[in-house]
Amino acid sequence: MRAVLLIASLTLKETMRRRLWVASLLASLAVVGFVFVANLGASVRAHDPIVQSVVPHITLILGLDVVKFFGSVLAMTLASGAIALEIERGMLYAILYKPVHRYQVVLGKWIGVLVFALVNTLFWSVLLYVSIRLMMGKVYPETWRAPLVVLLYPVLFGTLTLFFSTFASMGLTIALSIIAAGIAWSEKPMREFGIVFDIQTLLNVANNVRWIVPMNHLRRWVLEEMSVVIPERMMMSQRFQAFENPPSGWEIGYVFGYVVVVLALAVLVFGKRDV
């Protein structure tokens, strides 16, 4: 365990050395700026009670989408270089020549990457809530569980990207990560097209795609947790069609199991790899 924590610590130091905190700072400014722009737009119709009531809700819902995006991209960026880039630069050999098991290297990298990504994602979530409170005077304590589900986004994509990093080059790792994210994202448009044009084949494909990269299991959980603040008119839009099929407990269990299996595959593949 000591070796795992040591490698995790070195991974965090490498993250700081690469100045990724600059990206974190820019993302923080983007979150605050998003709330500022939304508040500025609402101020144009300051006397419309419907606008004043709905805009803070929408800002929170879409703001969490922004946080999910930044958290996932940050985790993918860190994980893509955690092993592949260090092998290409020869930096990892210094660790592998020491009495350290390869599974300890993978676990240490995984912990280091996720600690940095999760701390930042949680910070952005808190920053979003505080910004809405300060600029719009609204608080939503009843939605506190939604940011916790959002934390699983960087866990999912960080773990998947680290797995790619154990056998692929840096460039291929990034490409595979983008493809995986694209597969996960494609479920929503396929489902919407299937519903609008009544194409059962698209709906069947969408039902199968969501098991390959289970991002939308998390999305439905976030929406479920946010349902108490979603305006009734928005509930009728295609964006919230997922509520026709609300999430069940075993689906969130599937996401955890998926992460464990992918991490185990990363350990297995890196253990067999000829470095």
Q: What is the pLDDT of residues 219-241, one digit of tens each?
A: 888 888 887 777 666 666 655 55
Q: Which residues contact 206 (CB under 8 A, 6 or more apart)?
A: 186, 187, 188, 190, 191, 194
Instruction: Report whether pLDDT(156) > 70.
Output: yes
Q: Please answer whether residues 177 and 262 qualify as being in contact, where contact means their C-beta atoms are separated by less than 8 angstroms.
A: no
Cα 62 from Cα 237, distance rounded (Å):
15
Please tell me the total number of residues recorded for the chain in this structure: 275
The yes-or-no verdict on residue 155 having pLDDT over 70 is yes
pLDDT tens per residue across span 23-78: 889 999 999 999 999 988 888 777 777 777 788 888 998 999 999 999 999 999 99
- Put simply, whether the predicted model's pTM sits higher than 0.75 gets the answer yes
Quick check: 39 and 135 in contact, CB under 8 A? yes
- Nearest alpha carbon to residue 79 among 146, 140, 184, 163: 163
Q: State the sign of the Cα–Cα–Cα–Cα dihedral 254, 260, 261, 263.
A: positive
Q: What pLDDT is recorded for position 236?
A: 62
